[in-house]
A and B are shown apart, each in its own frame.
Chain A
């Protein structure tokens, strides 16, 4: 499978716990995006990387959220001190800068439930 993969697919945690999600992009893609999707809504942009550099963060990304992309390959998104409002689907997408249209390919998402 050469698509975008995300792990875990589902995560249930208690309020106040820390969680970390992983995204493995399509191998030759140099851009990686994180989005958050709540039930019945479209995905909302959180942050993106070009290679290993984090170039933009949405104001939705509070200080409790941190994302990394070491060596410009896989990425992790960590949420510290989770709150019930963090419950959502976290989607990762990748694209190749320079490709016409720069199509973003999405992974299956990690569904987070904070109890």
Chain B
């Protein structure tokens, strides 16, 4: 059962543009929603995370927007840079289930110079 769906599968953005990646979840009990960045040959690294009691969280160029009623959340990367080229995963977890992460399928972002 795919509980977290992510789109698009791939995204090409020009340097300085805005990258937007979307995720939808099914389990309304999820209580933690992180975004991870992964470079080839490396493990995922946490970028930013949000809890469902807030609708937006911003850290530097990265913003999560959260819509609890629609069961959707998105990652916005402002002023995208070539160094942001990586695969991005959204995830969700539930504290009472040991906080194990359920990941989306991933979005391969390419930022052209």
Contact = CB atoms under 8 A, between A and B. Distances in A.
Given A50-B98, A102-B95, A108 B106 contact: no
B103 A106 contact: no
Contact of B105 (A31, A41, A106, A109): A41
Interface in B83-113: 89, 91, 93, 95, 97-106
Interface residues of A, number: 26
A48 interface: yes
Interface residues of B, number: 26
Interface in A65-115: 91, 93, 95, 101-109
Contacts, number: 63
Contact of B101 (A41, A55, A104, A108): A104
B46 interface: yes
Nearest to A40: B106
Nearest to A42: B103
A43 B97 contact: no
A19 B91 CA distance: 29
Given A40-B106, A55-B98, A56-B97, A103 B43 contact: no
8 contacts: A31-B99, A43-B44, A45-B102, A50-B98, A55-B98, A91-B43, A101-B32, A108-B43
Interface of B: 6, 32, 34, 36, 41-46, 49, 51, 89, 91, 93, 95, 97-106
Pairs of residues from A and B, 6 with the lowest C-beta to C-beta distance, nearest first: A42-B103, A106-B43, A45-B100, A102-B99, A106-B44, A42-B89
